[in-house]
Amino acid sequence: MDQATFLWTFASTFFAGIALFMQKIVAEEGRSAAFFSMLSYAVSAILAVIILFSLRDAPPAWKMIAFFGIAAGIGHGLSNYVRIESLKYIDSVLYFPLHKLIGPLLVVVGGVLLFHDALKLTQYVGIALSLTVPLLLVTSVEHHRQKNLSLGLKLLIVSGVLSAVSLLLSKRGVTYESAVILFLVISQITGSFTSGVILVKQRGFKYSNFSRADQRDIYLSALSGVFSFLSSLSLFMALSTGLVSIVYVIQAHYILIPIVLSVWWYRDHINVRKFIAVVVSFFAIGLLAI
């Protein structure tokens, strides 16, 4: 992996982790998750529109770029929908680690089969280590906390597949000449619109969710939207030059950032498994970046 690709991948990982930590803050402070999600999506879409005006000329293959951008955006939105459904039946401490195991594994398979990613032995070792990180984060979850474990796991798998498909479509879309900005704009707007529609369908458009919002609600939501947008921009830049299997496996380590920040910010408990997960993560990223 060249230096530029690694830096873009690292930036995407960092911004995605911070955006996820914003969700932790909202949950800890008991704020409206519906307002947070909808405003975050809106900010992300607005930034995409602003970036659109920076395009002087449309890329030669703009129709194909638009096609893959729309497809990837819809896939991302549907993945979010199935994720919400899955979390109705299984606990989040079980869902998120397993999701970050299934998604990257499928992307690695897709990268090798579809994009012919030529991986070194050290990178395969790094991938194997990376896939152990989510397993280290799976804590013992009481059975009574799972409303329907079987259905929840099935939905989790569907969400993971949709997420992987969206990522592979993104890789295909950004391989065209001068594709990143146009692809970013289209996929962000499509993904934000799809996710917003699903959110309204799931929770309804309740004025009370917005009338009680204060300045901090707006601040946290807007900040999350900015970080999510920057993460997507960085990810697409990395995908345009790097191997999809390596880029995504490294980027999936962002789930560790909220854990580390929560220990510092909220004094969350740090156990041996979490510490080992962080150490293994750094070692795995080192092997993947070689």
Rounded CA Rg of the chain: 19
Tell me the pLDDT tens digit for each residue of 126-138.
Answer: 999 999 988 887 7
Of 108, 155, 158, whose CA–CA distance to 131 is shortest?
108
- Going by the DSSP 8-state scheme, the letter that residue 178 receives in this structure is T
The owner of tokens 């299984």 is 90
Of 237, 276, 163, 182, whose CA–CA distance to 15 is shortest?
237
What lies within 8 Å, CB to CB, of 267 at 6+ separation is none
Tell me the pLDDT tens digit for each residue of 235-283.
Answer: 999 999 999 999 999 999 998 888 888 878 877 677 788 889 889 999 9
132 touches 254 (CB < 8 A): no
Sequence length of the chain is: 290
Measured in degrees and rounded to the nearest 5, phi and psi for residue 88 equal -75, -20
Q: What is the pTM of this model?
A: 0.88
Give the separation between CA 259 and CA 268, rounded to whole angstroms.
8
Per-domain residue ranges of the chain? 3-289
- 206 has a pLDDT exceeding 70: no
Tell me the pLDDT tens digit for each residue of 84-116.
Answer: 778 778 876 777 788 889 999 999 999 999 999
Give the separation between CA 161 and CA 113, rounded to whole angstroms.
16
